[in-house]
Amino acid sequence: MESYVLTRISEKEKQEESFVLRKFEAAFLGRDIEVLDDLLDDNGNFFNGMTKVSVLTSFYRYFKETKSIDKIMHTVVNKGFTSDHKPCQPVLEFRFPDYDPFSGNRVDLDRPLCAKPNAARNEVVYRFAFTIRGKKVVGMRFPTVCKESLEREIKMN
Q: Nearest Cα to 135, choosing from 28, 55, 23?
A: 23
Q: Nearest Cα to 112, choosing from 71, 145, 86?
A: 145
Which pLDDT tens digit goes with each residue over 33-47?
Answer: 999 999 999 999 999
In a domain, 114, yes or no: yes
Note the pTM of the prediction, 2 decimals.
0.82
Greater model confidence, 67 or 39? 39
Count of structural domains, the chain: 1
* Residues 20, 39: Cα–Cα separation, whole Å: 7
In a domain, 3, yes or no: no
Residue 152: CATH number of its domain: 3.10.450.50
Q: 31: which residues sit within 8 A by CB, 6+ positions away?
A: 63, 69, 70
Q: Please, are residues 53 and 42 in contact by the beta-carbon 8 Å criterion?
A: no
Q: Is the pLDDT of residue 68 over 70?
A: no
SS (H, E, C) the chain: CCCCCCCCCCHHHHHHHHHHHHHHHHHHHCCCHHHHHHHEEEEEEECCCECHHHHHHHHHHHHHCCCCHHHCCCCEEEEEEECCCCCCCEEEEEEECCCCCCCCCCCCCCCCCCCCCCHHHCCEEEEEEEEEECCEEEEEECCCCEECCCHHHHHHC
Confidence category of residue 107, pLDDT binned at 50, 70, 90: low
In a domain, 6, yes or no: no
Domain holding 73, by residue range, is 11-156
In a domain, 2, yes or no: no
Q: Is the pLDDT of residue 121 over 60?
A: yes
Which pLDDT tens digit goes with each residue over 134-152?
Answer: 999 999 999 998 887 766 6
Greater model confidence, 99 or 39? 39
In a domain, 77, yes or no: yes
In a domain, 27, yes or no: yes
Which pLDDT tens digit goes with each residue over 13-28?
Answer: 888 999 999 999 999 9
